[in-house]
Amino acid sequence: MRRYPPLLVRLAAATFLASSLAACTGVGEEFQRGYVVDERAISQVKKGMNAEQVLQTLGTPSTVSTVGNRNWYYISQKSRRSLQFMGEQVVDQQVTAVYFDSGLRVERVALYGLQDGRVFDFISRTTPAGGEESSFLGQIFRGASSFNPFGT
């Protein structure tokens, strides 16, 4: 049987431990959920398009407004966790909203995200005014920050 010098055995053990620990504490995992924002596809949605054309361009929305079915929302969320057993943290969320008129023709498109902790439309560069729409978007973003995949 071959004997290895104690220093070599210690070095091999230290290397094994370090690589095992690095695998646990590496960059971590990143998760993309929901609609993946395709800015080219969004730019193809123009005022006056009908709902069928929007479906062909963007696909099925994540959710629709409950009042009148005139607003479609495509929700995208990116989260990250640093360790396998740790909870996830939402690092980015965007909501693409398509607003329709009474004839189900596109009125406008908005891309909402968070800027300085407030809901912000990156297309028109504005913060939505108060009302039903603002509170609905607020609920979507608040829900994202409290995401807990383990249900605890």
Q: What pLDDT does residue 38 have? A: 85
Mean pLDDT to the nearest integer, 42-62: 94
Task: Indicate the length of the chain as a whole number.
Answer: 152
Nearest of 104, 78, 108 to residue 90 by alpha carbon: 78
* Average pLDDT over the chain, rounded to an integer: 76
Look at residue 6 in the predicted model and tell me its pLDDT: 75
Percent of the chain surpassing pLDDT 90: 24
The mean pLDDT of 9-35, rounded to a whole number, is 70
Lowest mean pLDDT: which of 18-22, 71-75, 137-141? 18-22
Banded model confidence at residue 61, pLDDT cuts 50, 70, 90: very high
Three-state helix/strand/coil letters over the chain: CCCCCHHHHHHHHHHHHHHHHHHHHCCCEEEEEECCCCHHHHHHCCCCCEHHHHHHHHCCCCEECCCCCCEEEEEEEEEEECCCCCCCEEEEEEEEEEEECCCCEEEEEEEEEEECCEEEECCCCECCCCCHHHHHHHHHHHHHHCCCCCCC
Maximal C-alpha separation, the chain:
86
Q: What pLDDT digit, counting tens, does each position of 30-43 carry?
A: 888 888 878 899 99
- Residues 76, 98: Cα–Cα separation, whole Å: 14
pLDDT at 57: 95
Tell which wins on pLDDT, 116 or 9.
Answer: 9
- What residue type is 45 in one-letter code? V
pLDDT digits (tens, 9 = 90+) for 82-130: 877 778 887 788 889 999 998 999 999 988 886 655 655 555 555 555 5
pLDDT band with cut points at 50, 70 and 90 for residue 152: very low
pTM of whole model > 0.85? Answer: no
Contact 74, 34 (CB under 8 A): yes
